[in-house]
Amino acid sequence: MSGQWSQRLAALGIELPAVVKPVGSYVPALRVGDLVYTSGQLPVVAGELAFTGKVAEGAEGLVSPEQANAAARLCALNALAAVHAEVGIDSVVRVVKVVGFVASAPGFTGQPGVINGASDLIGEVFGDAGVHARSAVGVAALPLGAPVEVEIIVQVN
C-alpha cells in the first residue's frame, strides 16, 4: 500500500500545495502517538486568502454557499499539505475527525453544505479511509476575515 495516497492524488490531478505559514505562534501540524493534529487551516492559495467575508445565501458582497464550499475544499487541501509535511501523506491510515468553522452572516444555517467541501475532498482522496466524524459550526468571525476554517485529526502509521 506504500505510496497509495500519493498515487491517488496524482491520479486525481491534485497537487498538494506548499504548507501555509502559520499566522501566529504555532505549527501547521503535530504528531502525538499515531495521531496527527492539524492547526486550523484557512482557504489560502499562494499566500493569499482565496475568499474573504461571511457566508450568506444570495446576499450581495458576501461569500455564497457555493464559494464557501470551494473555500472549505481549499482548507482541507491545506490540512493535507500540513499532514504531508509532518509525516508524509502516505502514512495516513485514516481520517478521524474534521471540525469546520464557518463565518456566518445572520440567519445562515447551511454550515453542513459548506463543510462538505472539505469532507468530499477527503472522500475523493482516501475513499473508505477518509470516512470521518465531523462537527460544523457557524461562528462570528475567522482570522484575517476568512469565511471558513478547517482542522483535522488523522491516524498515521
Sign of CA dihedral 122, 123, 127, 132: positive
Single out the residue of 103, 125, 126, 129 in contact with a second copy (rule: CB under 8 A).
103
Among 89, 125, 129, 153, binds a second copy (CB under 8 A): 153
For a second copy, the closer of residues 9 and 79 by Cβ is: 79
Of 7, 34, 57, 127, the residue at the interface with a second copy (CB under 8 A) is 34
Which residues partner with 146 through β-bridges?
none
How far from 78 is each of 43, 44, 130, CA to CA, in Å? 8, 8, 16
Burial of 13 (0-12, 13-18, 19+ CB in 10 A): exposed
Which of positions 110-129 make contact with a second copy (CB under 8 A)?
110-113, 115-116, 119-120, 123
- For position 47 contacting a second copy by CB under 8 A, the verdict is no
Q: What does the alpha-carbon distance between residue 42 and residue 39 come to, in Å, rounded to a whole number?
A: 10
Residues of this chain that bind a second copy (CB under 8 A)? 22-30, 32-35, 37-40, 94, 96-99, 101, 103-104, 106-113, 115-116, 119-120, 123, 131-146, 149, 151, 153, 155
